[in-house]
Amino acid sequence: MTADDVEAAESALGRRALELPELAEAETVAAYVSVGREPGTRALLDALRARGVRVLLPVLLPDNDLDWGLYRGAGHLVRAAKGLLEPDGERLGPDAVTAADAVLLPGLAVDGRGLRLGRGGGSYDRVLARLERAGTGPSLVALLYDDEVVARVPEEPHDHPVHAVITPGGVHRFG
């Protein structure tokens, strides 16, 4: 994709995400800052924050688990391990994600069953397991490009399906 394609996709993705009822009604959203050629999240983060949504961003721990911090704007992001952008300021702890009404998940692909293929570090598998143990039921939403919604991805016993995928071209929901 060209830089213009990536920018147009971010804009479309953000518009679709803001129309999603799960995000429109959320008070707290756990999200992430896109890097590289990932579908862009920065405009969405700013729009959620402008709506008064409490936006939590991940902080990668040495064991690949995730801590969380509050998004206070682009000027409060710092470059961290593996080229990620993380919030500066107070750390809220790994369990902070259990307060989220919706969790936005990165990934490489999602299949027709809603199973997400991640990057292999296990960070979000731990988050999803933590949410399940806590008995919370946030909406799980992956942000992808249109061609990353595929017929089938490999499945592991610990995998949790997402509820929806937002792409620049539309929203895909799963049972």
| 90 labeled part of a ligand binding site | no
| 130 labeled part of a ligand binding site | no
| 55 labeled part of a ligand binding site | no
Closest CA to 141 of 15, 64, 30, 3: 30
| 117 labeled part of a ligand binding site | yes
Determine contact, residues 22/102, Cβ cutoff 8 Å.
yes
| 51 labeled part of a ligand binding site | no
| 93 labeled part of a ligand binding site | no
| 71 labeled part of a ligand binding site | no
| 121 labeled part of a ligand binding site | yes
| 120 labeled part of a ligand binding site | yes
**Binding site for ATP: which residues?**
116-124
**Binding site for substrate: which residues?**
33, 38
